[in-house]
Amino acid sequence: MATITKRKTSYFISVSCGYDRRKRQIRKTMTWKPEPGMTDRQIEKAVHEAAVLFENKVRLGKVVQTNATFEAFVERWLVEYADQQLAPRTVCRYRQFMRRILPAIGHIRLDKLQPMHLIEFYNNLAEDGIRSHKTWVVRPALLEKYNAQNQKPTLFAKQAKIGTATLQAILAGRPVMRCIAEKMCDALDMTMTRGFKELPGKTTLSKRTVQHYHRVISSILSTAVFWQIIPDNPAKRVRPPKAPRLEAKYLDEQQAAVLLGHLQNEPIKYQVMVKLLIYSGMRRGELCGLEWKDINWDKQTLSIRRSSQYLPGKGIITADTKTVTSDRTIRLPDAVFSMLRSYRAWQNEERLRLGKYWQEHDRVFTTYDGQPIHPDTITGWFREFIRKTDLPYITIHSLRHTNITLLIMAGVPLQTVAKRAGHASTVTTSLIYSHAIQTVDEMASDVLADILKPKQVGVGG
């Protein structure tokens, strides 16, 4: 029931809405002022009518909460929406964005947040010096000491508490954060100054990154509108900086054949992973989440039902696939299943060789002792593999682009390609792979020209 408190020239109306997760009472309030010239009897009647009307609006969720800051709403949004509805990796990424968002606009009341606040924040993100972190690159002294250990990379990475892919990146001379460099030095009992050289880090954020910040803020405010906490979304009235559209990197038919040729002398596990990515078009997480029960040997199909991801502080987790349509079953050629049979026989030999030290999981791709493989392991390995070839530099995700591009250019219907790729619709496929569709369109134009080309009619007797 609404509570009415008389003040000097107005009335304060309050309605209880229960308690929050910290057991604090939630109240929504309003101030009502009588019209000039109203009698005491008229005022008493009108204020009670206003209280009843306000209470009904509160019960129906039609009252804007005017005292919550953006930061307070974000805390509620993360617990009541993000943790319940979004993928763990997405939530982790959103929490990382909050490190810059909340200090900038977290103190502003939700109903007072204006487009200019967001524009100023985005302009600040684009300024020089916004990224101040530095990185470190390995010195020869550390490499010598590491090589002298003569230890398996997977075992050393576990000892140093870093990922195998991270270890490979360090050994290849790529920059890493200080916390990673310190773990490497601790494992080898070396000082930072002797083991790593400090490098200046980037000082600006890309326009694409600023766009990501805008999308995160807009998503949060859209939920606030949906929950009827604010009437509209101020982010909808802000245009983030334009970023150049990135073309999907892929290999053409000949380059893909060269890649497969280079794989012949590589470890069988990586051979199978790379070939499977090219033939199936799976995402990296979907590949790492693949289990033997997902393979139907008789029908020669492969079902994609889960994704394997790494989260800081939680390790490797099993998550749902990216979208509802990402759960799919695709058919693969005989060569793939022949390859999988050989790989399974090799894995069984490894299981017998390790005996009690093998960690029993149903994952197709595992660490040396049977545990689910870290997604960055294949990324790091492939990065070094592709550097050793004369092929254009591509990432592990480029193998998915290669698969889809080759299917489109081979004339496979776009709807079939989208279904195999796990896209929500053909619109997604056509936007990402417009380069392949344009090429097919040009081929179709040439074919049509040949069909309709006037035929030479012979003249003779």
Residue 379 is assigned to a structural domain of this protein: yes
Amino acid of residue 193: T
Residue 86 is assigned to a structural domain of this protein: yes
What is the spatial distance between Cα 211 and Cα 239, in angstroms, rounded to a whole number? 9
pLDDT for res 262: 93
The helix or strand, by DSSP H or E, that contains position 196, with its residue range, turns out to be: strand 196-199
Amino acid of residue 270: Y
**Residue 279, domain CATH:** 1.10.443.10
What is the spatial distance between Cα 203 and Cα 140, in angstroms, rounded to a whole number? 27
Residue 351 is assigned to a structural domain of this protein: yes
- Based on the fold, state whether residues 282 and 340 are members of the same structural domain: yes
pLDDT for res 22: 64
DSSP letters spanning 383-401: HHHHHTSSSPP--TTHHHH
Per-residue pLDDT, averaged over 115-129, amounts to: 87
Please state, as a whole number, how many other Cβ atoms lie within 10 Å of the Cβ of residue 440: 17
**Residue 86, domain CATH:** 1.10.150.130
Q: Which residue has the higher pLDDT, 461 or 367?
A: 367
- Based on the fold, state whether residues 81 and 141 are members of the same structural domain: no
Mean pLDDT over all residues of the chain?
A: 86
pLDDT for res 151: 84
- Based on the fold, state whether residues 145 and 26 are members of the same structural domain: no
Using pLDDT thresholds of 50, 70 and 90, give the confidence band for residue 131.
Answer: low
Structure token digits, residue 126: 């684009």
- Based on the fold, state whether residues 227 and 265 are members of the same structural domain: no
Q: Which residue has the higher pLDDT, 165 or 371?
A: 371
Residue 424 is assigned to a structural domain of this protein: no
Domain count of the chain? 4
The answer to pTM > 0.85 is no
Per-residue pLDDT, averaged over 183-194, amounts to: 92
Q: Are 134 and 200 in contact (CB under 8 A)?
A: yes
Q: Which residue has the higher pLDDT, 454 or 139?
A: 139
The answer to whether residue 202 scores a pLDDT higher than 70 is: no
- Based on the fold, state whether residues 161 and 35 are members of the same structural domain: no
Residue 377 is assigned to a structural domain of this protein: yes
Domain hosting 107: range is: 70-129+205-237
Q: Which residue has the higher pLDDT, 329 or 68?
A: 329
Using pLDDT thresholds of 50, 70 and 90, give the confidence band for residue 461.
Answer: very low
Nearest partner of 399 among 289, 309, 283, judged by Cα: 283
- Based on the fold, state whether residues 82 and 114 are members of the same structural domain: yes
Last residue of a domain, one of 363, 394, 409: 409
